[in-house]
Amino acid sequence: MKTNSGLRNVLILLPLWLGVLTVAALAADQCLECHSSWEEGLDAPSVQFQQDIHSKAGLSCASCHGGDPTLDDMDAVRKSKGYKGVPGAKEVNQFCASCHSNPAYMVKFNPSLPTDQLDKYKTSVHGKRLFEQGDTKVATCISCHTAHSIQPAAEPTSAVYPINIPKTCANCHADADYMSGYGITTDQHEKYIRSVHGRALLDKKDISAPACNDCHGNHGATPPGVTSLSAVCGLCHTLIADNFAKSPHKEAFDAMGYPECETCHSNHLIEKPKMHWVGVSDSSLCVQCHAPDDGTGGYVAAARIYETLVNINSIYNAALARIDTADMKGMLVTDERFALNEVKQAIIQTGTAVHTFDPEAVSKVAEPGITSAQNIAIQGEKKIEEYYFRRKGLGIATLLITILVIAIYLRIKSIEK
Amino acid sequence: MADKIARENRLFHWVDERLHIQTLVDYMSHKVVPQHSHSFWYYFGGISLFFFVVQVVTGILLLLYYRPGADSAYESVKFIISEVSFGWLIRSIHSWSANLMILAAFIHMFSVFFTHAYRKPREMTWVTGIFLLALALAFGFSGYLLPWNELSFFATRVGTGMAGAIPGVGDFLMKLMRGGEDVTGATIGRFFGLHVAVLPGVFAVLLSLHLFFIQRQGMSEPLEWAANPQFKKYRPFFPNFIMRELLVWLIMLNLLAVLAVFFPDGIGVVHWPLGQKADPFAPPPPVIRPEWYFMFAFQALKVLPAHLLFIEGELAGIIILTAGGIVWTLIPFLAGKFSSGKKPTLIIAFGWAVLAFIAVLTILGYILE
């Protein structure tokens, strides 16, 4: 009797359970259910999307692609309300912008995220070519951000994290076949990774060093023009840009159509500045424009600036050599080394002052560093002299003690005889 | 010449009339020191004393410029070694002498042990000697923090932290030493007071007792002499032994001068560069190690497993080391009677085991770091 009652309860509850399970299955995202069961490679979107920022924010496939995600039949999905499917190159930007250009919607997720990406994109070379010329080879949102593994730019795994940006841009810009027909070189990435900026960003992982987007912009990607170049470089090199803007070169370069900073420093392959770039030697950059009789005074100024640079660097090196020697001899030189750092700073400031192209201004900036380096060299010399004084003192003391030891030894022998 | 002798006699008579020093002179002139193949070891007590005297003199000189405190200790030591005339030499001699004093004291202790000089009636000489060595180690530990540099800060944090492992009183002891929860400027104040006032005071009393016992009882004679009195040979304490002692002291002074000038910051594992100022918020240096004379204990605590039976490994190590120290101190009372001429092999084996334990763990400490 008891058994029959239990069986009856099970028979009543079973349909209820089945009903609950059916509702739960229908509520699940059928897009992921089907797409993840596809063969390896084709399942990539569904796999990648698990880690995508949109997935983490609670969005689903249908949030972008539309349609009814509870349906498990693809034909039914295609016919369902709001279905958008896979966007083409021309539609993808609008696709993203449907949310990202809507401040009222975006504020719910990230109030600090700008919503003008599409507007900027339209002003970029990429955007203009896409929208005005119908060029579908240009970069769209997913070219840089990826389609289904989008991460915040601050995430090191993101394709647009500063260290990853050069490679992301190079995916297209270093591909000679892909870029053929655009009339631009494809060696920017190769040059950039050898540049002082590339080495700082990629080798030293210094994310304050500029990547492609820091000079060219990101959504409004546009190459800086001849006259705007110093403004771009000046975003970081403020003092140099300021010095250059006040210098006689600004007007002359603009008049001759020279691309300001790039004229001497080049663009993607920006090297650490060399002292011999300044001056009047054959390897100098100054003599490429200036001659002794050109009437500008530039030739003489270049020679004098070079002299100041050589002076401060050679005095610094001499002081460093003295301090190193004293250090190797075991003398305490921590204060002198600290002071040398200040001289090093003065050398950098002198390099900045070079962009005034005024020998007097350069000399004025270098002077405190030169004086300081001279004092440090004197201190270093004193330390070395002190080292030899100690050795001599030790020699005399040791000799006296040894004489005393011998005298006592002889006295002991004499007593014990 | 005759006038000079007469003047000296008059002076001696003047002093003797007041202090009765003739008794002392008579005692000294009759005092002898055993002369045998192991007489060499007698000098290590005197060498330890010499280095202690150097410590006192150089310590007083350093005290003229040293300023305890988290904001002044490092700066004052830097000032001593860079600005004060011969300050570098005084600090270097102080550091070298500290290390050599402890080395000489260890050699002295083991030489006394292996020649069985601790046996009756010299038990108290041994016990005061062990306490003196313990105080010398405390001098080293307290002095290590005083420059307030990176290494000393973290080593003191580890060292005082070990005291915290003692059950019951550990936490209290650690806070007492640190003057709070962590090593701070308050710790410098305590260590400074300990280093320049408390320890020297206690050391002076114990050293006086130790020297009094030695002078009163004389040097220990070899065990073999009891069975073979025909081998007995003595040397006058004054002037023969005293002059030899003086000779050894001068050689030590020469050694100290050479080391201090050639290696002002020490060498190898005996190294005390001033380096960076202590920063409690900085990450600890990759290698934190104690002074070489604490390395065996440090390593012993490191190699012990997390738990030894039901006791925490570190605590078990502290208990074992403390018990070992107590047994070592009480050796004269535990060794039993020495029958004439017979070598106590068990005691000698124990001594070698202790020596091997210290040597092996010290070497391992440096190899495995």
Interface test with A, best of B261, B272, B276 (most A CBs within 10 A): B261
B254, B263, B274 ranked by CB distance to A398: nearest: B254
Name the interface residues of B facing A (CB cutoff 8 Å): 78, 81-82, 88-89, 239-240, 243-244, 246-247, 250-251, 253-254, 257-258, 261-265, 274
Contact status, residue B140 vs residue B291, Cβ threshold 8 Å: yes
Q: What is the DSSP letter of B168?
A: T
What is residue A12's predicted lDDT score, i.e. its pLDDT?
55
For residue B312, the surrounding DSSP H or E stretch is strand B311-312
pLDDT band, very low/low/confident/very high, at A101 (cuts 50, 70, 90): very high
What is residue B179's predicted lDDT score, i.e. its pLDDT?
93
Going by CATH, does the domain composed of B28-367 fall within 1.20.810.10? yes
Residue A22: is its pLDDT beyond 50? no
Poorest-confidence range of A7-11, A48-52, B158-162?
A7-11
**Mean pLDDT across B262-286:** 89
B171 compared with A11, residue with greater pLDDT:
B171
Q: Which residue type does A382 have?
A: K
Can you tell me the distance from the alpha carbon of B160 to that of B146, in angstroms, rounded to the nearest whole number? 14
pLDDT band, very low/low/confident/very high, at A24 (cuts 50, 70, 90): very low
Poorest-confidence range of A183-197, A233-247, A300-314, B2-16?
B2-16
Domain parsing of chain B, residue ranges: 28-367
> What is the DSSP secondary-structure string of A321-361?
HHHHHHHHTT---HHHHHHHHHHHHHHHHHHHHGGGT-HHH
Q: Do A394 and B243 touch (CB under 8 A)?
A: no
Q: Do A416 and B258 touch (CB under 8 A)?
A: no
Contact status, residue A70 vs residue A33, Cβ threshold 8 Å: no
B93 compared with B338, residue with greater pLDDT:
B93
Give the gap in angstroms from C-alpha B88 to the nearest C-alpha of chain A. Answer: 9
Can you tell me the distance from the alpha carbon of B251 to that of B60, in angstroms, rounded to the nearest whole number? 23
The answer to whether A335 faces chain B, any CB pair under 8 Å, is: yes
Residue pLDDT, tens place only, B57-83: 999 999 999 999 999 999 999 999 988
Q: Do A332 and B88 touch (CB under 8 A)?
A: yes
pLDDT band, very low/low/confident/very high, at A26 (cuts 50, 70, 90): very low
What is residue A306's predicted lDDT score, i.e. its pLDDT?
97
Going by CATH, does the domain composed of A298-416 fall within 3.40.50? no
What is residue B341's predicted lDDT score, i.e. its pLDDT?
61
Domain parsing of chain A, residue ranges: 224-271, 298-416
Q: What is the mean pLDDT of chain A?
A: 88
Q: B87-114 and B242-262 are packed helices; what angle lies between their axes, rounded to 10 degrees?
A: 130
Residue with tokens 């006086």: B208
B78, B251, B258 ranked by CB distance to A405: nearest: B251
Residue B2: is its pLDDT beyond 80? no
* Cβ-based neighbours of A40, under 8 Å, separated by 6 or more: none
Residue B308, helix vs strand vs coil: strand
Q: Do B243 and A412 touch (CB under 8 A)?
A: yes
A·B CB contacts under 8 A: 47
What is residue A9's predicted lDDT score, i.e. its pLDDT?
57
Give the rounded percent of residues in chain B with a pLDDT score beyond 70: 98
Contact status, residue A260 vs residue A230, Cβ threshold 8 Å: yes
Give the gap in angstroms from C-alpha A399 to the nearest C-alpha of chain B. Answer: 9
Please list the residues that pair with B270 across neighbouring strands. B267
B247, B254, B258 ranked by CB distance to A412: nearest: B247
Residue A23: is its pLDDT beyond 50? no
Angle at A329 between CA A323 and CA A332, to 5 degrees: 60
What is residue A25's predicted lDDT score, i.e. its pLDDT?
44
Residue A246: is its pLDDT beyond 80? yes
Q: Which residues of B275-300 are buried (b: 16+ CB within 10 A; e: fewer)?
A: bebbeeeeeeeeebbbbbbbbbbbbb
Residue A21: is its pLDDT beyond 50? no
Give the gap in angstroms from C-alpha B164 to the nearest C-alpha of chain A. Answer: 36
Which residues in chain A have their CB less than 8 angstroms from residue B265's CB? 330
What is residue A3's predicted lDDT score, i.e. its pLDDT?
44
A332, A391, A416 ranked by CB distance to B81: nearest: A332
What is residue B126's predicted lDDT score, i.e. its pLDDT?
97
Poorest-confidence range of A60-69, A382-391, B117-126, B324-333?
A60-69
pLDDT band, very low/low/confident/very high, at A397 (cuts 50, 70, 90): very high
Give the gap in angstroms from C-alpha B267 to the nearest C-alpha of chain A. Answer: 11
Q: Where are the alpha helices (DSSP H) in chain B?
A: 2-19, 22-30, 43-63, 73-82, 87-114, 123-145, 150-163, 170-178, 185-193, 199-217, 224-227, 242-262, 295-303, 313-329, 331-334, 345-367
Q: Do A415 and B250 touch (CB under 8 A)?
A: no
**Mean pLDDT across B193-197:** 96
Instruction: Report the residue of chain A nearest B241, measured CA to CA.
Output: A412
What is residue A16's predicted lDDT score, i.e. its pLDDT?
54
Q: What is the DSSP letter of B239?
A: I
